[in-house]
Structure 1
Amino acid sequence: MTNDLIETEKNVALLTSKLQALKKEIKKVIVGQDEIIDQLLITFLAGGHGLLEGVPGLAKTLMIRTLSEAIDLHFRRIQFTPDLMPSDIIGTEVLEEDHATGKRFFKFNKGPIFANIILADEINRTSPKTQAALLEAMQEFEVTYAGVTYPLDKPFFILATQNPIEQAGTFPLPEAQLDRFLLYIKVSYPTLEEELNILSQTTGSKKGSVEKVITAQEIIMLQKFVREIHISQELIEAVGKLVRATRPNETQDAYVKEWVRWGAGPRAGQAMILTAKARAILQGRLAVSPEDIKHVAYPVLRHRILMNFKAEAENVSSDSVCKYLLQNSQIKLT
């Protein structure tokens, strides 16, 4: 084993221990939801954005806020409402006067998008025009206003929430914007044991105190390490086949042709490999396993497979297609 590899393993071990400490801090406040916390951390490690969907009261907002409290990063929450304007997110120019010369000039006042962690709460409650204000920030990590481009500080994450049941007065995210989210995370109800613990821990006078355990620089280092994680050519080919198999015009599979209107694009394959690498490093490994691919396939693909009207009527979801394809013997993930 070379000295460089030994040094890399030491650095990975040190930073991985920070991730475990981060999870421990989050667990001081959040009961259960281990899978959701892991997926949030995978989103961070892969340098992407996450969309959380769940009914009210499942601690989506609290989970994101707690995560931000345990990381030494600037956090801002934006409450999305029908009257929210793009300038409320990006910022706006104001007219100021130089008292020394008397000259007036426009100064750009930065909006809440200029933070490291953005909580876009109930993102589907605002108009498409305001939703679109996030597109450049999500993809290019910069914002343009009045012809001037302003870079965003890194690391930069947008974590958005939405409610799946109350759809009156909402504006569904367009597919192009959904595709910008690295993972689509579904938050489910807690187990009976977890719910009893929630009732016990949240109705008393004691409150968990969260400490900052990881810095912005360490997050950036981890993101660099993620891209160095090894993945075999066989797994890359399996990911390529899996993504292409979701496209009804490129597959002969009758199941996909029956239920799917549009399949996932190349960004899905990129997301699957990056998040699989992130999961590997989260578990302290330096190589991607087939289980990593299977683990991230659902949150990567569920918002990138567009089902047809027949599927919606028959309650066949994109998760059903993903499950079918993962069980397809033609795609080797063993």
Structure 2
Amino acid sequence: MTPTVASFPAARLRRTRATPAIRDLVRENTLSVGDLIWPVFVRDGTGIEEPIASMPGVMRRSVDKIAAAAIEAQALGIPSICIFPYTDASLKTEDCAEAWSPDNLTNQAVRAIKSAAPNIAVMTDVALDPYNINGHDGFVVDGEIVNDATVEALVKMTLAQAEAGADIIGPSDMMDGRIGAMRQALEKAGHSNVMILSYSAKYASGYYGPFRDAVGASGALSGDKKTYQMDPANGDEAMRLVQRDLIEGADMVMVKPGIAYLDICHRVKTNFGVPTFAYQVSGEYAMIQAAALNGWIDGEKVMLENLMAFKRAGCDGILTYFAPEVARILNT
């Protein structure tokens, strides 16, 4: 589009910014509660809400408290919750078998949420890192994160989550070929309506530190994840990954992290026109919260400004730890 603008004073562009009413009329993008997915952390126990030091305001919750949080989210109009487990160290193994146990924390939480708040769409995470003694998203063999054996494990994990009642599967592992394998397995098992929101463009980012604290993966991780997560310097590669995942059967795609990758969000939406999501990750959340708590920024204003940036870039929705706070603001 080439803007056509008369010369001054016929054109006074400030006219459309003059009052709140006029600004509302010409606003190009809107943020709604329906745009939000709330990531939550589940841990073992009962009646537990445990603060996460590196993510002020975020907690690990026991399954019963996750169910209570889902009831709150449903009342606020938040359409989806995404579950991440904080797995006890004793359950982390080389073979990651806890990942597809029908009674692991994720699957318990799925069932509890579906019972307590049936209108919430439950999203799950598919990757081995919460269950892996090595802290990696895939199996480690002789120092290499192996692809095909990992995909077989991820398929078992996917089917266990679908059986528990998950509505949306979120593969965050970045292995090759996993979307096609998951889609085929879901169809064969009769879960044809289970959606896949693929972490198609997940970067090897420095923004993930607080999340790894939250799921207890920081101490376990050996080495880095650069052989499977994306190089932050690359954009064209992200387009190839998104295209591949869509061809293999992804219903929706995600860019992660968010605010530093708005160009990727925009390119994905422009090139493919599919439901596009961004994850406002733990480091982004923590930076806003830390600055706000120190009085350096207006936390609410910056929070909303960041989320609007995702919408302006073309995102259909955002995974954000701010979801309940944003929902309360938007509902007033």
Give the number of the structure whose alpha-carbon radius of gyration is greater.
1
TM-score range, shorter chain: under 0.3
Higher relative contact order (CA 8 A, sep 6+): 1
TM-score (norm 2): 0.24
